[in-house]
């Protein structure tokens, strides 16, 4: 693996967080996969394109991108060894031959200059130690005129997920941090435009999109899954047993309005961001 500068994220994604995502890849894809078509429509992958998937995780987006570029291919890069193991196994099982996976830090990874025609990402660009440096390195990896498309979280306020996490607030800190930090660090389109422009990208657009996110088969299943998600699990471990039990009960209550006959389904929101790698 190449050098790492984002050491805190590397520790998380090679520890419990990464192992949980790797062990539950289909569940996380059920949460985030509803946004895939927005991403691929924006990326406009051609059959000969070379595609870079930033923060590829368990590799669903990488594999789907490879399918859209049968005469090209897709490369996924991620910090997480556990998720990359899952990604490679899924690609082999599905017979996706034109895909490769690299473990590394996007901010400093030694990409070949101009090696890619498209870069994309699904909810994985919000955690860079230095986002301008990371996107400048992506820009260098793209040929002139190449396309960038990614999804990132909006603010939590006023969303279904915000209501669910808000129910935990009397008992635990917000698991994603305050709006504008952590997973919501790109919630402000003005900041997105500033970072990408400083990194060399042009024609930046931010479009708000919505999709259903399936969190479980019923309330107990969804509540258990969310409680085992890294940030929530961590905060539950920092409080006494009574407070933790009260938080779990509040979580279950908050999920009840979203339970259907077959699943627990929240309406998710995201920013769909596009830009051009003009020189």
For residue range 68-115, what is the model confidence (pLDDT) as tens digits? 999 999 999 999 999 999 999 999 999 999 999 999 999 999 999 999
Total-model pTM? 0.95
Which helix H or strand E contains 134, and what residues bound it?
helix 131-141
Contacts of 257 (CB under 8 A, 6+ apart): none
Q: Which two tokens stand for residue 17?
A: 């967080």
Give the per-residue pLDDT at 4. Answer: 80
* Other beta carbons less than 10 A from residue 256's beta carbon: 11
Alpha carbon dihedral 250, 253, 255, 257, in 10-degree steps, equals -150
- The rounded distance, in Å, linking the Cα atoms of 154 and 166 is 15
Q: How large is the average pLDDT for residues 239-259?
A: 97
Is residue 265 classed as helix, strand or coil in its secondary structure?
strand
| Tokens, residue 101 | 């996976």
Question: Is the confidence at residue 158, as pLDDT, over 60?
Answer: yes
Query: Of 83, 82, 49, which Cα lies nearest the Cα of 68?
Result: 49
Residue 175: its pLDDT value, please? 84
Residue 66 is encoded by which pair of tokens?
């490879």
Find out whether 152 and 128 touch, Cβ atoms under 8 Å: no
- Give me the sheet containing 50-54, strands edge to edge: 99-103, 73-78, 50-54, 116-122, 142-153, 264-277, 202-216
145 HSE (CA, 13 A, CB side): 1
Indicate the helix (H) or strand (E) that contains 253.
Answer: helix 241-255
| 5-34 confidence digits (pLDDT tens) | 878 888 989 999 999 999 999 999 999 999
Task: Kindly tell me if the per-residue pLDDT of 2 is higher than 60.
Answer: no
User: Is the pLDDT score of 165 beyond 80?
Assistant: yes
Alpha helix segments (H runs only) across 24-108 = 25-32, 36-43, 60-68, 81-94
Task: Please say whether the beta carbons of 233 and 16 come within 8 A.
Answer: yes
Q: Is pLDDT above 90 for 279?
A: no
Are 38 and 152 within 8 A, CB to CB? no
């Amino acid at each position: 693996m190449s050098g790492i500068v984002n050491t805190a994220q590397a520790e998380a994604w090679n520890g419990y967080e990464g192992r949980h995502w790797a062990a539950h890849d289909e569940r996380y894809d059920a949460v985030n996969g509803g946004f895939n078509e927005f991403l691929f429509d924006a990326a406009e992958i051609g059959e000969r394109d070379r595609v870079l998937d930033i923060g590829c995780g368990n590799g669903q987006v990488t594999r789907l991108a490879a399918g859209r570029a049968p005469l090209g291919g897709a490369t996924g890069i991620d910090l997480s060894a556990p998720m990359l193991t899952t990604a490679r196994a899924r690609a082999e099982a599905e017979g996706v031959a034109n895909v490769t996976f690299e473990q590394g830090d996007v901010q400093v990874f030694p990409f070949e200059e101009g090696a890619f025609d498209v870069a994309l990402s699904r909810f994985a660009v919000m955690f860079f130690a230095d986002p301008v440096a990371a996107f400048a390195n992506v820009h260098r990896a793209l040929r002139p005129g190449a396309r960038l498309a990614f999804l990132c979280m909006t603010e939590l306020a006023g969303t279904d997920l915000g209501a669910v996490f808000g129910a935990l607030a009397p008992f635990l800190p917000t698991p994603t941090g305050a709006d504008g930090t952590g997973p919501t660090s790109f919630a402000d389109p003005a900041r997105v435009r500033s970072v990408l422009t400083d990194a060399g990208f042009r024609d930046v657009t931010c479009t708000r999109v919505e999709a259903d996110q399936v969190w479980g088969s019923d309330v107990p299943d969804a509540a258990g899954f969310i409680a085992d998600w890294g940030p929530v699990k961590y905060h539950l471990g920092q409080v006494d047993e009574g407070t933790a039990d009260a938080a779990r009960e509040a979580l279950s209550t908050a999920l009840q309005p979203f339970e259907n006959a077959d699943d627990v389904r929240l309406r998710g929101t995201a920013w769909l961001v596009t830009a051009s790698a003009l020189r």
